Amino acid sequence: MQKQPDKAIQLSHGGGGQEMNKLIKSLFFKAFDNPLLCREEDAAALMLSGQCAFTTDAFTVSPLFFAGGNIGKLAIAGTVNDLAMMAAKPEYLAASFIIEEGFALADLRTIVESMAAELAVSGARIVCGDTKVVPRGCADGVFITTTGVGHIQHQGISSHALTAGDAVLISRDIGRHGAAILMGREGLELDSELTSDCATLWPAVKALLDAGLEIHAMRDATRGGLAAVLNEWSQASGVGIDVQEQAIPVADPVRGLCELYGFEPYDLANEGTFVIALPAHQAQQALTALQALPCCPDAAVIGQVSGANPGKVILTSPWGSSRYLELPAGELLPRIC
Amino acid sequence: MQKQPDKAIQLSHGGGGQEMNKLIKSLFFKAFDNPLLCREEDAAALMLSGQCAFTTDAFTVSPLFFAGGNIGKLAIAGTVNDLAMMAAKPEYLAASFIIEEGFALADLRTIVESMAAELAVSGARIVCGDTKVVPRGCADGVFITTTGVGHIQHQGISSHALTAGDAVLISRDIGRHGAAILMGREGLELDSELTSDCATLWPAVKALLDAGLEIHAMRDATRGGLAAVLNEWSQASGVGIDVQEQAIPVADPVRGLCELYGFEPYDLANEGTFVIALPAHQAQQALTALQALPCCPDAAVIGQVSGANPGKVILTSPWGSSRYLELPAGELLPRIC
């Protein structure tokens, strides 16, 4: 028999019986309440029409709580951002929880409430879910998989659509999420404002779409960081991408951590930072739209798409030397998201 | 440095860099190949039109391989069945993998190939996915979350739609999945044909829809078993459900395991068995349609919906005694699905 049965998750909370029903009703249904939420059937019924984006992500971040967010905020922002990067309005989400026996109910409540708060930023709604509980030692706290659906508002945005002459923009300074997780994991307490960039990007994307810009490609720089996005784009579109090192915003504490641990800020994960490619003559208009938002005062043009060096990303230092910016390899930081 | 880097999952397989790209291309893209599969963007683009069902499930079954299936087959059948129970044609699936570092690549391949084989039964396609790797000891082998979307073919099927006078049918004998998992976990080797019922139910549902039957409610009896479905229905519709014990098919080895471990077959999970409520005068036609299928020779009428005892399920024994069939409580079998 366990003590304090109401203060920690028990195996019976995942058993399909009375205890699971009580947990779902008292926690999930309350936090995620909306008319479409599937309560008594196995699936939600949605009216959809036209081209929709569909995306899924499993979140296993460690630590679960970090400077600037937690796994719940991340699970919503991450999936909503994948929809936003397809120019899809984030509308309907599914949330699956895998919870370790003994996990504190208070922490689960905090995580779920963070999810509800982050949903409000885009107006997306959780319409169905699932809860599984595994015995102690079979998972590490809680894992959340979120899957999203939304109508695509603007066709043709694709990693294949980069064109020589495009400008490449970043929405803000890079590497914050990776650095915040590293700091949390190493138990570092820096005297700094180093927080994850974890955020919902739909308002920024909507501002760009509303401005009528001809966006060629758009991608949030999550696992693998800016380096992964640029390499995937250059290969998919068969173009070269030239990037100026001094144009890429990096906050001082992120730069400091990178020097300490031997990371490159280009490889570090972000969770609320995106890269945009669009015709160079629209770059200033895009910057103006982004910089008007609270999230993006540091938005910057960081490079250009070229017809030379197809499939390669070339980084030029302030001193004029150039090198390939490679796709990251090796372990990097595990459980970053 | 690890030995045999290609034989086991490494942390780098989830890092977002070169190793992850290689794993995804060599394993997932090959097994799940189809024109809609999202390869270079963050989301798949789907053309949808009308009422769609949307459902998610996390699968954490232990053991991963059991008599009659494995976690991969289960992850496809389970999510496809949730769509089928809404009379939705299973069309598009998302698959998220959380893999423990060191997991055998050969086992992952077997699981993924089982998923591909099970997809073929309904014609559903995986169109997007995600892979995370967590360090040894942070998960138990592999967890899979599958989320599905499909167009609803027949409106109005609902746990609220049961009506006094309806017949209640079961598609086959009950309790096999729970019993097979129990057998696997306890290391029992019974001299029997005890296998999980794990299967895709769309062909059976399609046969019922094609027969033009007026189905009121339909539900696969997964966690919580037959008892959970009947209790949820009786409460949602405010009706009583009378069930005849001797009419419920239970295979001998399942009955034997129940006696050995003190379980009731009504509480045991199924993964390819569903309950149907429809007007009594259509019961024989439904039985004929089901029994014509290879999966359902034992389909049976097991009870009736009544206006008496709203919210209660009453089980009558062959000797005429009656008792409430309650919603299961307590731990039952953890990690059944």
CB contact under 8 A, A82 and B51: no
Task: For residue B157, tell me if it sits in a domain.
Answer: no
Domain boundary among B151, B179, B195: B151
Please choose, from the candidates A327, A216, A271, A218, the residue with its C-alpha nearest in 3D space to the C-alpha of residue B22.
Answer: A327
Q: Which of A97, A327, A335 sits opposite B18 (nearest CB)?
A: A327
Q: What local confidence, expressed as pLDDT, does residue A233 receive?
A: 97
**Structural domain contains residue B56:** yes
Which residues of chain B lie closer than 8 angstroms to A138, CB-CB? 60, 62, 139-140, 335
Distance from CA of A333 to the nearest CA of B (A): 7
Boundary-marking domain end, from B99, B128, B151:
B151
Q: What's the CATH number where A278 sits?
A: 3.90.650.10
**What value does the mean pLDDT take over residues B90-107?**
98
> How much is the pLDDT for B2?
45
The pLDDT assigned to A328 comes to 81
CB spacing of B130 vs A56 below 8 angstroms: yes
B83 and B172 share one domain: no
Same domain, A142 and A187: no
Task: Looking at the structure, tell me whether residues B193 and B279 fall in a common domain.
Answer: yes
Residues of A in contact with B59 (CB under 8 A): 132
| B171 touches B296 (CB < 8 A) | yes
Domain presence at residue A334: no
- Give SS3 for A243: strand
Q: For residue A158, what are its two tokens?
A: 């694709």
The kind and range of the H/E element at B300 are strand B300-306
d(CA A71, CA A143) in angstroms, rounded, equals: 8
Q: What is the pLDDT of residue A1?
A: 42
In a domain, B64, yes or no: yes
What is d(CA A76, CA B55) in angstroms, rounded to the nearest whole number? Answer: 17
- Indicate if A172 and A229 belong to the same structural domain: yes
User: Pairing relation of β-strands B240-244 and B313-316?
Assistant: parallel
Q: Which of B28, B55, B157 to mutate to test the interface with A (most CBs of A within 10 A)?
A: B55
CB within 8 Å: B56 and A331: no
Chain A residue whose CA is closest to B178: A15
Output the domain CATH number for residue A72. 3.30.1330.10
- Cβ atoms of A236 and A137 within 8 Å: the answer is no
Chain B residue with Cα closest to A134? B335
Q: Do A328 and B17 touch (CB under 8 A)?
A: yes
* Contact (CB, 8 A) for B292 and B207: yes
Same domain, A86 and A176: no
Preceding peptide of A63 cis, ω within 30°: yes
pLDDT for residue B1: 42
In a domain, A330, yes or no: no
B92 and B232 in a common domain: no
Tokens of A19: 């205890």
Interface touch A16/B48, C-beta < 8 Å: no
Nearest chain A residue to B83 by CA: give it: A43
Distance, CA of A265 to CA of A208 (rounded, Å): 26
CA dihedral A248, A252, A257, A263 (to 10 degrees): 10
Residue type, A287: L
Which are the contacts of A6, defined by CB distance < 8 A and separation ≥ 6? A105
Which one of A28, A51, A56 makes the best mutation probe of the B interface by having the most chain B beta carbons within 10 Å? Answer: A56
Indicate which of B81, B331, B335, B337 best probes the interface with A, i.e. most A CBs within 10 Å of its own CB: B331
- Its ipTM equals 0.94
Report the alpha-carbon distance of residue B333 to residue B337 in Å, rounded. Answer: 10
User: What radius of gyration, in Å, describes the C-alpha atoms of chain A?
Assistant: 21
**B14-51 confidence digits (pLDDT tens):** 877 788 889 999 999 999 999 999 988 889 999 999 99
Residue B5 lies in a domain: no
- For residues A19 and B45, what is the distance between their CA atoms, to the nearest angstrom? 38
B16–A223 C-beta distance less than 8 A: yes
List the domain range (segments joined by +) for residue A300. Answer: 166-324
In this complex, do B40 and A160 lie within 8 Å of one another by their Cβ atoms?
yes
Residue A337 lies in a domain: no
- Same domain for B184 and B313, yes or no, is yes
Q: Are A163 and A128 in contact (CB under 8 A)?
A: no
Among candidate residues A124, A151, A178, the one where a domain is terminated: A151
CA torsion sign for A158, A162, A168, A173 is positive
Percent of chain B scoring above 70 in pLDDT: 97
**Regions of chain A where pLDDT drops below 70:** 1-6, 190-191, 331-332
Residues A144 and A210 grouped into a single domain = no
Which residues in chain B are closer than 8 Å to A49, comparing Cβ atoms?
48-50
Provide the Cα torsion B158, B309, B279, B149; round to 10°: 10
Asked if A88's CB is within 8 angstroms of B12's CB, the reply is: no
Q: Is residue A79 located within the same domain as residue A172?
A: no
Q: Which of A9, A55, A264 to mutate to test the interface with B (most CBs of B within 10 A)?
A: A55
Alpha carbon B119 to chain centroid, angstroms: 13
Instruction: Write down the pLDDT at residue A169.
Output: 98
Tell me how far the alpha carbon of residue B25 is from its chain's centroid: 28
Q: Helix (H) and strand (E) counts for chain B?
A: 9, 13
> B56 CA to chain A: closest CA distance, Å?
6
* Residue B274 near residue B221, CB atoms below 8 Å: yes
Residue A276 and residue A198 share a domain? yes
| CB contact (8 A) between residue B48 and residue A52 | yes
> Which residues of chain B are within 8 Å of residue A47 when distances are taken between CB atoms?
50-52
Mutate to test the interface with A, among B79, B93, B138 (most CBs of A within 10 A): B138
The Cα of B243 is separated from the nearest Cα of chain A by a number of Å equal to: 20
Which residues, in sequence order, are CB contacts of A175 under 8 Å at separation 6+?
A: A225, A250, A251, A254, A258, A263, A265, A266, A268, A269, A270
Whether B2 is in a domain gets the answer no
Q: Are residues A191 and A315 in the same domain?
A: yes
Number of separate domains in chain B: 2
Say which of B95, B148, B158 has its CB closest to residue A41: B158
Contact predicate B149/B54, CB 8 Å:
yes
If asked whether residues B190 and B307 sit together in one domain, one would say yes
Minimum Cα–Cα distance from B139: chain A residue = A139
- Does this model's pTM top 0.90? My answer is yes
Residues of B in contact with A60 (CB under 8 A): 98, 132, 134, 138-139
Chains A–B, number of C-beta pairs less than 8 Å apart: 288
